[in-house]
Structure 1
Amino acid sequence: MNAQVLNLVAALGVMQYSKRLDFEDPQIVYYARAAYVVSNAIIFGIYTIIQTRISSNNDRTPLIYEEPAAPFSGQSAGKHVSTTVKDYDTEQLQKAKKSSMIGVAMMAFMHLYMGYAQPLVLQSILPLISLFTNQLTSIYILGKAAEGSLARPFAAGGGPFSNANKSAPAAPAASSSTPAAAVSDGPTITELNDEEKTA
């Protein structure tokens, strides 16, 4: 099932269930808080495992692509990005951590300052669904190959580690003076494919 559809179905189900709960009952609020804390402990624990595996793999394969301009930025041209798989995955993970911490801060404000308890239930479920349907979790936790929908740069809509837009791969380098050669530790994916065609 598509991650967005799964999130929508889960949100509707959890919202319907939470309407039956009495959030005036201190015990219900306690369990909602506990579920939220456990959920975030799992999320940040998975982040830690992914970070460890990114560092352990130390994949220096060159990754070159065009990053589209951000929506409403007023820029028509995208940005040329030349990096490695390790650095790209680390960047995506840092974005996910930042997003999760902002979410925790907002939830703390809503619950502790404004007194809302019902969102605790929803925010205990949806971030976990997003975590286990994103690309880095699929690659580093579930052991899936980084191809197809898991190919880097990641497409939009795959979860908290996704870019805002799908980034188009750049054209292969024409000479050794290009950025591709500057970061290359070996043949790029494009070069390997060309060699297979001519073999």
Structure 2
Amino acid sequence: MLPVMLYARKLDSEDPQVVLYLRVAYGVVQVCMIVLILICMQKVSSKAADTTAVYTEKAKGFMDDPNAPKKYIKSTRGACYSNKMTEFRNSTVMGICMTVGLHYYKGMVMGLCMQCVMAPFNAYENKIVKFALFGAEDMGEKLEADLTKDDLIIELLPDGTENVLGKGKGESKAPAIEDKEKNDTKKKDKKLSKSAFEELLLDTWDQASEADLSPLLSQLTVSSVKWTTSEQSWTPLMVLCGLSGAPGFEDGIRKCVELGADVKAADKDGWTPLHWTAFHGNATAAKVLCEIGGLGKEDIEKKDGEGKTVRTLAEEEKNMDVWQAIEKALAL
């Protein structure tokens, strides 16, 4: 992905011919993706009648303890394949809608370029596609005999809560395997240098609402939340305040504040994190900042390099919902 991002930054988004080529390429790729989805749906339908009991792992959230026991949900193999197909279809359609919407309304071409290359790679890595095209029957499901005593079996209730049904009956992992996994985790958790962190931060920003925030959030520390980009003096908190459509941005903002991020810092344009929320229409971020950032009236009246306050930016960008959130949070 990194080479694609670096190349996409050099594209002239003002050149009509470049934009036309990107639109055509993106259209061809997405038509192929839709055809692929139809093929996958037809293949998955052959599994609908498979009632073999299987267990699928529940994905952990951003703020979940990575060392907590794994949780598995019981279902049938047919339902497992159907759910994976639905996830693949919905994520593809949502990605198309977001990319086209950002291009149509904001003129962004970065998404078009990235998806032309990344969509085929992501499809190739998808387990449903591997099943449909290559016959690989592996959705990550487990049989009951494969669950260990460390694994929890749960059911999801209609209100969104979890009910623990029991534990697996298999043997726990061997100590040697556990030690290896711990070492692998330490390697993955290795903190980046300041320059590498800046590259990660800028790459996350380039992905806009499609950004996967987990790599960035995993690199946030007491030191890195205060780091700024070399050219514009952006902080991680500012970037998160501008990513209103990216899943997990609110947790990221809270983590930045908890680690001691400066909620009043300004970039080279004089924009504070609140200015970022006003310009990018992120009312949720504005609400969170006011509630946990210790901001006051003097902070919302601070002017940027052009003499604009948070309210001025909100009015100009027609994001008055941001200003209303600020007023409500600060009881103005």
TM-score range, shorter chain: 0.5 to 0.7
Spell out, residue by residue over 1:8-61, the C-alpha distance to the aligned partner (whole angstroms, 9 max, x if none). xxx222223334432211111011011111111111211110110121354514
- The aligned residue for residue 90 of structure 1 is 82
| SS of equivalent to 1:64 | strand
| Aligned partners of 2:54 and 2:77 also within 8 Å | no
Could you tell me the TM-score, scaled by structure 2's length?
0.38
Q: Does 1:119 align with 2:111?
A: yes
- Whichever residue aligns with residue 24 of structure 2, its letter is A
How far is the alpha carbon of 1:171 from its aligned partner? 4.5
How far is the alpha carbon of 1:106 from its aligned partner? 1.5
Larger relative CO (CA 8 A, sep 6+): 1 or 2?
1
How far is the alpha carbon of 1:132 from its aligned partner? 0.7
Spell out, residue by residue over 1:72-122, the C-alpha distance to the aligned partner (whole angstroms, 9 max, x if none). 479x88765333222211111101111122212221221111111132111
Q: Does 1:134 align with 2:126?
A: yes
Please identify the structure whose Cα radius of gyration is greater: 2
| SS of equivalent to 2:46 | helix
Could you tell me the TM-score, scaled by structure 1's length?
0.61
Q: Does 1:42 align with 2:32?
A: yes
Q: Which moved more, 1:118-127 or 1:57-66?
A: 57-66
How far is the alpha carbon of 1:136 from its aligned partner? 1.6
Pick from 120, 131, 152 the counterpart of residue 140 of structure 2: 152
Q: Which moved more, 1:121-130 or 1:14-23?
A: 14-23
1:1-199 equivalence runs, <5 A: 11-58=1-48, 60-65=50-55, 67-68=57-58, 70-71=60-61, 72=63, 81-144=73-136, 146=137, 150=138, 152-153=140-141, 169-171=143-145
Distance 1:113 1:48 in 2: 29
| Aligned partners of 1:66 and 1:169 also within 8 Å | no
Distance 1:73 1:13 in 2: 31
| SS of equivalent to 1:141 | helix
| Aligned partners of 1:66 and 1:78 also within 8 Å | no
Unaligned runs of 5+ in 2: 147-332
Unaligned runs of 5+ in 1: 1-10, 154-167, 173-199
Q: Give the number of equivalent residue pairs.
A: 143
| Aligned partners of 1:61 and 1:85 also within 8 Å | yes
Spell out, residue by residue over 1:150-177, the C-alpha distance to the aligned partner (whole angstroms, 9 max, x if none). 3532xxxxxxxxxxxxxx65348xxxxx
Distance 1:16 1:69 in 2: 31
- Whichever residue aligns with residue 124 of structure 2, its letter is F
